Structure 1
Amino acid sequence: MYSIQQEELFSFDELMKMSAESKYSVVLEHAPLGRILHAVSKSSHLGRPESLNTRAMIYSLLIGKMEHIRFTKDLVSRLRSSSEFRRWCRFTDSDRVPSEAAYSRLVTKLDQCGVLRDVQDIVVDQAIAEGFLSGEVLAVDSSHIEAFDRNPKLDKSKTKPGAASPTEEESALLSETSCQPPEVAKPTKPKRAKRGRVPKAEAAAWREQVDAYEASLNLFEREVADMLPESYEALIADMPQFPSTGAKGDPRGTHRVKFWYGYKVNLLVDTASQYIVTGVTCSAHVSDQRPAIVLLKRLKARFPRLRVKHILADKGYDGEPVYKQIRAAGAFGLIPLVHRYKVPEGVDEHFRPLCRQGHPYRYDSYDAKRGTLKWTRPKECATCPLQNHGCQKVHKTKVADDARKYTAPGRGSAKFAELFKQRTAIERVFAYLKLYFEMGSSRKRKKRALVDLDLSCLTYNLCKLGLDRLNKYRRKTVQAA
Structure 2
Amino acid sequence: MTIIRQQSLFGIQELYEMEPTQQYQEIMDAIDLDAIFFEVNKKTSVGAPVELNYGAMIVSFFIRYVERIPTIKGLIKRLDHDLTFKLNCGFKVSDSTPSESSYSRLLTKLSESDIVERVQERVIHTAITEGFISDDTVAIDATHFEARDQASPKEKEQKKEPKKRGRKTKEERPKWLEEQAKELASLSLYEKKIEAQLDEPLHNLRTEVPQAPKWGIKKNSEGKNVFWFGYKGHLAVGASSQYILQSLLSSGNLNDGKAAIPLLKGLEQFHLPSIHLHTMDAGYDFEPIYEQIHRMGHQSNIAYNKRNESEMIGYDEHFAPTCFREHSYRYDSYDPKYETLKYTQPLECKECPLANQGQCQKVYKVRITTDLRKYTVPARGSKVWKKVFKRRTAVERVNAYLKEFYQLNNVRYRTGKRAKVHFNMIVLIYNASKLAADRINLSLKVQQAA
Per the normalisation by structure 2, the TM-score is: 0.94
Rounded Cα–Cα distance in structure 2 between residues aligned with 1:309 and 1:213? 38
Rounded Cα–Cα distance in structure 2 between residues aligned with 1:153 and 1:378? 61
Rounded Cα–Cα distance in structure 1 between residues aligned with 2:275 and 2:341? 19
2:66 alignment counterpart: 66
Aligned 8 A contact 1:141 1:267 in 2: yes
Rounded Cα–Cα distance in structure 1 between residues aligned with 2:152 and 2:163? 33
Rounded Cα–Cα distance in structure 2 between residues aligned with 1:213 and 1:378? 53
Instruction: Specify the code of the residue in structure 2 equivalent to 1:434.
Output: K
Aligned 8 A contact 2:236 2:245 in 1: yes
Rounded Cα–Cα distance in structure 1 between residues aligned with 2:165 and 2:27? 66
Aligned 8 A contact 2:30 2:123 in 1: no
Deviation sequence 1:218-272 (CA, Å, 0-9, x none): 111111112211112222222110001000012333xx10000000000000011
1:360 alignment counterpart: 328
Rounded Cα–Cα distance in structure 2 between residues aligned with 1:462 and 1:189? 52
Which of 209, 230, 236 in structure 2 is aligned with 1:268?
236
Point out where structure 2 has 5 or more consecutive residues left out of the alignment. Answer: 1-6
104-113 vs 232-241, which deviates more?
A: 232-241
Distance of aligned partners of 1:337 and 1:187 in 2 relative to their CA distance in 1, 3 Å threshold: farther
Instruction: Specify the code of the residue in structure 2 equivalent to 1:22.
Output: Q
Identity of aligned residues (%): 40
- By how many angstroms is 1:352 displaced? 0.6
Aligned 8 A contact 1:190 1:210 in 2: no
2:296 alignment counterpart: 329
Deviation sequence 1:13-48 (CA, Å, 0-9, x none): 222222222211211123211211121122323222
Which of 448, 452, 465 in structure 1 is aligned with 2:418?
448
1:465 partnered with 2:435: yes
Which of 225, 238, 261 in structure 1 is aligned with 2:195?
225
1:421 alignment counterpart: 390
2:341 alignment counterpart: 373
Rounded Cα–Cα distance in structure 2 between residues aligned with 1:311 and 1:51? 49
Aligned 8 A contact 1:9 1:475 in 2: no
2:252 alignment counterpart: 284
Instruction: Specify the code of the residue in structure 2 equivalent to 1:56.
Output: A
2:270 alignment counterpart: 303
Distance of aligned partners of 1:107 and 1:188 in 2 relative to their CA distance in 1, 3 Å threshold: farther
Rounded Cα–Cα distance in structure 2 between residues aligned with 1:190 and 1:418? 54
2:206 alignment counterpart: 236
Rounded Cα–Cα distance in structure 2 between residues aligned with 1:277 and 1:8? 23
1:320 partnered with 2:287: yes
Q: Secondary structure at the match of 1:395?
A: strand
Aligned 8 A contact 1:224 1:321 in 2: yes
Aligned 8 A contact 1:9 1:474 in 2: no
1:52 alignment counterpart: 52
1:402 partnered with 2:371: yes
Instruction: Specify the code of the residue in structure 1 equivalent to 2:42.
Output: K
Distance of aligned partners of 1:204 and 1:126 in 2 relative to their CA distance in 1, 3 Å threshold: same
- By how many angstroms is 1:416 displaced? 0.6
- By how many angstroms is 1:322 displaced? 1.2
Aligned 8 A contact 1:190 1:209 in 2: no
Distance of aligned partners of 1:75 and 1:318 in 2 relative to their CA distance in 1, 3 Å threshold: same
Deviation sequence 1:327-379 (CA, Å, 0-9, x none): 22221111111111122111111111111111111111111111111111111
Aligned 8 A contact 1:190 1:213 in 2: no
Q: Secondary structure at the match of 1:409?
A: coil
Deviation sequence 1:48-89 (CA, Å, 0-9, x none): 232111111111111111111111000011001110111111
Aligned 8 A contact 1:110 1:451 in 2: yes
Rounded Cα–Cα distance in structure 2 between residues aligned with 1:192 and 1:449? 39
Rounded Cα–Cα distance in structure 2 between residues aligned with 1:190 and 1:220? 26
- By how many angstroms is 1:281 displaced? 0.3
Aligned 8 A contact 1:220 1:239 in 2: yes
Matched length? 441
1:213 alignment counterpart: 183
Rounded Cα–Cα distance in structure 2 between residues aligned with 1:232 and 1:424? 27
Rounded Cα–Cα distance in structure 1 between residues aligned with 2:190 and 2:151? 22
Point out where structure 1 has 5 or more consecutive residues left out of the alignment. Answer: 1-6, 157-185
Rounded Cα–Cα distance in structure 2 between residues aligned with 1:270 and 1:187? 48
64-73 vs 13-22, which deviates more?
A: 13-22
- By how many angstroms is 1:189 displaced? 10
